[in-house]
Amino acid sequence: MRIGYGFDSHEFKPGVPLVIGGVKIDHAKGLAGHSDGDVLLHAITDALLGAIAAGDIGSFFPPNDPKWKGADSAIFLAEALKQVKAKGYKVENVDSSLVMAEPKIGPHAKAIQKNIADLLGIWPDCVGVKAKTPEGLNLENTAVAHAVVLLSTKVR
C-alpha cells in the first residue's frame, strides 16, 4: 500500500475558462497557469506521483516547455496514472479539498467526482470532492487544492 499527497494553487484571472477536475464551470474568471490551470487535477497528479516517489508534475511536464501551453491537465493525470500502473500499483481511492471564495463548487461536485473517477478508471464513490471557502486566509483571488490518494499493490 502507498499513500500520496498533493497540493496546488492558482490565481484567478479574468477572460480564461474555469476548469476544475476537468469540468468547465461557468464563471467570470478562470485560473491562470501555463496549462489549463486545473488546480484539482494538478494536486491529484502530484499525489499519484508522490505515492510512488516519482517526483512531481513539473519533473514530467516542465512549466517552461511551450508544448504544455494551455494543455488539458487530463494529460498530466494520465501520465501519473501510467507511472503508478508501471510500478505495479492501482488506485484505491482519492480524497480532495478545494479552497476558494467563489464560485460555489457544491453544484458541480458530482460532475467533478464523476469525471475524475472516469479519468482514473475507478468508481465515483472512490473519489472525494470537498469544498471550503478560505475563511480567514485572505485568499479571495486564489484557488487551492489538496489531494490524497491510496494505492494498493496489484496482484501479479
**Closest to Mg ion by CB, 42 or 108:** 42
- For Mg ion, give the closer residue by CB, 36 or 89: 36
* DSSP designation for 40: H
C-alpha atoms less than 13 angstroms from C-alpha of 33 in its C-beta half-sphere: 30
Distance CA 67, CA 107 (A): 33
Rounded Cα distance, 20 and 11, in Å? 13
Q: At closest approach, how far in Å is the CB of 124 from Mg ion? A: 24
Residue closer to Mg ion, measured from CB, 8 or 129: 8
Q: How far is the CB of 128 from Mg ion (least distance, A)?
A: 20
Distance of closest approach, residue 105 Cβ to Mg ion, in angstroms: 17
Taking the alpha carbons at both ends of the chain, their separation in whole angstroms is 14
Q: Grid cell 497528479 — which residue?
A: 45
User: Closest separation between CB of residue 39 and Mg ion, Å?
Assistant: 6
* Interacting residue ranges for Mg ion, rule: CB under 5 A: 8, 42
How far is residue 90 CA from its own chain's centroid?
17
Ranked by CB distance to Mg ion, the top (closest) residue is 42
Nearer CB in complex with Mg ion: 70/88? 70
Kindly report the backbone phi and psi dihedral angles of residue 147, in degrees, each rounded to the nearest multiple of 5, phi listed first. Answer: -145, 145
